[in-house]
Amino acid sequence: MNVPPSQYAMKQGKIQGHHRDRLAVVYVRQSTMQQMERHQESTKLQYGLAERAQQMGWANQRVQVIDSDLGKSGASVEGRLGFQQLLAEVAMNHVGIVLGLDMSRLARSCKDWHHLLEVCALFRTLIADLDGVYDPSDYNDRLLLGLKGTMSEAELHIIKQRMLAGKLAKARRGELGVLVPYGYVRKPSGEVTKDPDEQAQQTIQLIFTQFEKLGTMRGVLKFLVDNGIKLPYRLASGQNKGDLEWHRPVQGTLHSLLHNPIYAGAYAYGRRPADPRKQKPGRPFTGKIVAKMDQWQVLLKDHLPAYITWERYEQNVKQMSNNQNIALGVVRNGSALLSRLIFCGRCGKRMLTDYPSNKNKMRYACTNNRINYAGKLCQSFSGEALDDLIADMVLQALEPAALEISLKVAEDLNTEREQLHQQWKQRLERAHYQVTRAFRQYNAVEPENRLVARTLERECENALMEEDRIKTEYTRFQEKQPIALSAREREAIHRLSHDIPALWHSPQTSQADRQAVIRQLVDHLVVTVQGNTECVDVQIHWIGGNITETAMVRPIKCIENLSYYPQLLNRIATLRGEGHFTKNIAQILNAEGWRSANRNSEFSGGMVYAIIQKGLRSMKSPLAIEVEKNADEWTTDELSAKLDVSYSTIYHWLRQGKMTARVAIGLSRRIWLVHADEEEIRRLQTLASNIHERRVARIH
């Protein structure tokens, strides 16, 4: 601790009176708490610099020791309140000299070190270590101080590199110790094995079994909570280190458990590396990110005892990723059976589900063009028709395997019940053990020692009460769910195998259940609407690679968009020509199988009348010939075009009696047929020319 004064003899002339008028600050720092415990001599030597300051001429009351950074790394100024205090004191011109054991005590970062040098040079503050006294404003001293700071930073990087290299080498051998998760223990030899507690092992196995069955983390969590199943946890520290406790399941724990590759027997290192950009100041273990599997630094398969296979683990991870990805066809809330499963046959993009007013009326729409290019919808249609079609196709696909499905359901139910009853039996066994253990402890104490006996009596009573509680709950559970399926339950399952549609349409079957069934069979669909018509082409891509092509009829708003609209007009024109009224025409169309724009609606008299008014009158084809004309007869349209006069002029002449005409009943209206031979046409042309002359005269 005693340092020869000759160490400070060099360049003593640098210390001036104005330096001694200010404070001498001794900065003390050790990187970790472990260094403070194992290297106390270094700490004492740093505190001893206060005596050196007095030997250099500073009064005892003007020597200040800053030691609030003990146990903190010098790699950054973040979190080092002592170093920040030092900078503040120098910047306020309160410090004449800064003393440290060496440069690495002050800073391991060139950024922080040169910041201190700049401030000290500006306020003419000296820096001293065991090698001498330096003036940061002097060129040679500044050069030497900069070199020392660079070496200090490089030394830190070298130390870290060596430590990380050794750590990685040990990890590549699978020997680097990490905290083991639920269901595992680490022996004193360092070997990782499954938890020796049988109930702990079966609970972990039950979680993976239920996830394979249910497919969602929330479903597993609900199953555990509904059945009162808790998770086994070994205390990692404290007075009761190694004891087994049972904690309530939470979603975060299940997320970590299902994502951990150790349950597939793999040793992994580098799954959660630290991102320096996300680390919080003074907290080196923050900023963790989740790396992809191909970015893990070490992955050793079949290295540890496993609960599941590696293939099952990969499927679980993929399933959880799909559950979080809204772009994939996982089960979602809503009435749509095929949400996120449909692709547009026109542009190839995934179609979205739209609920315009309520969740019972929904549509499938391709909105890519509208969202990305402010264009029109690529195509859309009512979702009910497609859902019904695919549901029928799925039920047909399930029909051959109905008996096999019923047997599998019965087997799964039996297995699940056996697992649950096994859990209850193990809980009873553990409770009984706690009772016998409490009584052994009570019997081992001397009866006269009432101070201990009273405590053990309470423990016995608590253990007995807990055992009775578990027995009562187990009895209730047995009443609801016997161990084996009853004959009535087996008969119900067998009966449902012959009536899967009834099970599908049962009120007890939720929409989420139907979605889950469809997603077990259907990979995706490609749907194409033929123009604006009611015809829709559907291509079903089944899981396994098979493709089925079918078609459906969608409801549309405009009857003019029907693919058979021209044929419908022809048929109505024919029936009208035969003298049928609109009501009779509607009955004939319904009997012949014609349907309106709404695929489930029949024609009414009003609908036929609307078609006649809107459709037949606007036709510019041979269908427009509604009556047979005699020789030298003209329709008003034909005569107007022949004479080059307006329709109103023709009707004006008719009212004045200047033409001979008759009224005929057409298909959709009354039609005037004007008799006009060649002589009559010449007379009418003279009348028309007079009208044109008078019009020209008025203009001039």
Residue 331 confidence (pLDDT) above 70? no
Rounded CA-CA distance 568/559 in Å is 10
Comparing CA positions, the residue from 610, 611, 626 lying closest to residue 669 is 626
- Across 26-30, 81-85, 396-400, 418-422, least confident range: 396-400
- Examine the pLDDT at 262 and tell me if it is beyond 90: yes
Residue 496's pLDDT is 61
| Per-residue pLDDT tens digits for 338-347 | 888 899 988 8
From 466-470, 489-493, 685-689, the region with the lowest mean pLDDT: 489-493
Angle at which helices 487-497 and 402-444 pack, to 10 degrees?
Answer: 150
Is the pLDDT at 44 greater than 80? The verdict is yes
Mean pLDDT of 367-394: 85
Residue 104 and residue 113 in contact, taking contact as beta carbons nearer than 8 Å: no
> What confidence category does residue 620 fall into, taking pLDDT thresholds of 50, 70 and 90?
very low
Q: Tell me what pLDDT residue 414 has.
A: 72
Closest CA to 26 of 52, 6, 1: 52
Q: What is the pLDDT of residues 515-539, one digit of tens each?
A: 888 887 888 899 999 888 888 899 9
Percentage of residues of the chain with pLDDT beyond 70: 85
Query: Looking up tokens 């030597």, which residue turns up?
Result: 45
Q: Whats the size of the chain, residue-wise?
A: 700
The 8 Å CB, 24+ separation contacts for 683-687 are 684/639, 684/643, 684/653, 684/659, 685/643, 687/653, 687/658
Q: Are strands 298-300 and 267-269 parallel, antiparallel or unpaired?
A: antiparallel
Burial per residue of 207-227, b for 16 or more beta-carbon CB atoms within 10 angstroms, e otherwise: bbbbbeeebbbebbbebbeeb
CATH of span 184-266+301-324: 3.90.1750.20
- Where residue 697 falls among pLDDT bands split at 50, 70, 90? low
User: What would the mean pLDDT of 74-79 be, rounded to a whole number?
Assistant: 79
Q: What is the pLDDT of residues 202-256, one digit of tens each?
A: 999 999 998 988 888 888 998 899 888 899 998 888 888 888 889 999 988 999 9
Q: What is the pLDDT of residue 610?
A: 77
Region 6-19: mean pLDDT is 64
Whether residue 402 is predicted with pLDDT greater than 70 in this model: the reply is no
Distance separating the N- and C-terminal Cα atoms of the chain: 127
**Which one is predicted more confidently, 92 or 575?**
92
pLDDT at 622: 40
Q: Is the predicted pLDDT of residue 1 greater than 50, yes or no? A: no
What whole-number distance in Å separates Cα of residue 332 and Cα of residue 516? 10
pLDDT band at residue 480 under the 50/70/90 scheme: confident
Distance of alpha carbon 661 from alpha carbon 673, whole angstroms: 5
- Domain 5-169 part of CATH 3.40.920.10: no
- Within 13 Å and on the Cβ side, how many CA atoms surround 92? 8
Contacts of 440 (CB under 8 A, 6+ apart): none
339-348 CB burial, b ≥16 within 10 A, e <16:
bbbbbbbeee
Q: Is the pLDDT of residue 388 over 70?
A: yes
User: For the residues 147-174, what does the mean pLDDT come to?
Assistant: 87
pLDDT at 95: 92
pLDDT at 92 over 90: yes
For the chain, the average pLDDT equals 82
- Enter the pTM of the model: 0.59
Percent of the chain with pLDDT over 90: 14
Q: Does residue 621 surpass a pLDDT of 50? A: no
173-184 confidence digits (pLDDT tens)? 888 888 889 999
On whether the CB atoms of residues 364 and 342 are closer than 8 A, the answer is yes
Active-site annotation holder among 6, 31, 321, 497: 31
- 582: pLDDT strictly greater than 90: no
Mean predicted confidence (pLDDT) in 310-330: 78
Answer yes or no: are the C-beta atoms of 393 and 548 closer than 8 Å: yes
pLDDT digits (tens, 9 = 90+) for 489-517: 666 666 665 667 777 777 777 887 788 88
Specify the pLDDT at position 5. Answer: 43
Q: What is the pLDDT of residue 7?
A: 43
pLDDT of residue 40: 84
Instruction: pLDDT band for 325, please (50, 70, 90 cuts).
Output: low
Per residue in 341-371, pLDDT tens? 899 988 888 888 888 765 557 888 898 888 8
Residue found under tokens 């040679």: 140
Higher per-residue pLDDT: 647 or 147: 147
pLDDT for residue 455 is more than 80: yes
The residue with greater pLDDT, 456 or 606, is: 456
- Tell me the CATH number of domain 633-699, given options 1.10.1660, 1.10.3470, 3.40.50, 1.10.10: 1.10.1660
Least confident of 5-14, 114-123, 391-400: 5-14
Q: Is 382 assigned a catalytic role?
A: no
| Mean pLDDT, rounded, for 283-309 | 85
